[in-house]
Structure 1
Amino acid sequence: MDIGTAKIAILGGTGKEGGGLALRWASKGHRVIIGSRSIERAQAAAAAINERLGVSLATGNGLAAATAEAEIVTLAVPYAAQQETAKEVASVLAGKILIDVTVPLVPPQVSRVQLPAGRSAVEALQERLGPEVRVVSAFQNISAHHLDDLDAEVECDVLVCADDNSAAEAVIALSTQIGLRAWYAGPLCNSVVSEGLTSVLIALNRRYKVPGSGIRITGIDGLEIA
């Protein structure tokens, strides 16, 4: 799927993960709107991306304004803020793709899997927002450390889960554009695996003192994902 360029809002784009995705997408010509409760922080994050890339493709705004302006919205906030942030922008999400990067980490034991009621946090978000918002789960297992290094090959795969096939294909295309291999991993309920896997990767990072372990899918290289 050729997605071309798009207006992409990153809610939580002042953080490391959201900021890394914003940097990568801006580097490929997408217009990115950093969304934050602090417009000043959002604008500062956007200015830093523009300065680093030598372009003027990033802007900053409040959460609702950034969401309203975008065609695709990325939710990259801490789990504790997931539902509240989504509620705040729900009125301007209808008809859009929402990429949820949320991982249900519960400090201080972030290396221990703690799924809410044993189910997917992203699936619960889809139920709350309703069918008019096409929620896609992706990027939970990609370290911000890798996203920030534009010159390095990211040897980690992206698992994309969604109930809407065209939305999943769009996110796979966005992943491919920024140098990531992405695979359709089934319906949104399957996101429970990638959400839980993040805690496993954190445990690996700590045990083996590395900045960003990841996963690779084998056996299906070269096949077109549908």
Structure 2
Amino acid sequence: MSLAHPLDRPVWSALNTRVAPLAIRREQDGGAAVRLDPDVGVFVAAADGSPASRALLTALSREYPGAGMVEPEGAPIEAVLPDVPVISRASCVQMTAAALTAGPAGDIEFQTLGEADADEMLALAILTRPGPFRRGTLRLGGFIGVRREGRLIAMAGERMKVEGYSELSGVCTHPDFRGQGLAGALSRAVVAGILARGEQAFLHAYAEHTATVAFYESLGFAVRTRMTYTVLA
């Protein structure tokens, strides 16, 4: 399936290009499907709507349960589901940013997060639910965090990467420390790093979370298109 833009199908694009080293790929009878390493994330995608690709998508989804699909809302590929039960479907907006808006400089100190922080990162993500997150998600790169008294209280990082774009993801703050501008400061820092590489930033947010969408708009993001996020059993 040819793509007019790499963000039209971000999971397929990423797992076949910049994130390919972390992907599990299956090809047979002219079909293809890919799945992000389950220790790193949940995402899965088929090459197209052919029976061969759908069969491979089904096999990957059964072999590694709990997968998620992100496909353009209303596009034919959105209906190419594996033959496994669907837990939920949600409408999302895909947003992009080519520049950051002016914002407060602030004095928030953050640090680069790595393997030694993996358990704390996962615990914070489970508590705050910023989106699909696994212990190995940090392998996608760019994660930074804020600590108070040695405790990780906020973080943000990168996820899917396609040609010319990297995704802001994993933005979360412990409930006891919200309202201090931590999410905004960390998001700005991650996006600034992406822009400094000559790329643009993108992200996905649940369409019904209007406050979240407005927050990202305040940073310089604009809605590009609508997507559907499907969670498989």
TM-score by length of 1: 0.30
Give TM-score, length-normalised by structure 2. Answer: 0.30
Higher share of residues assigned strand: 2
> Which has the higher relative contact order, 1 or 2, with Cα contacts under 8 A spaced 6 or more apart?
2
More helix by share: 1
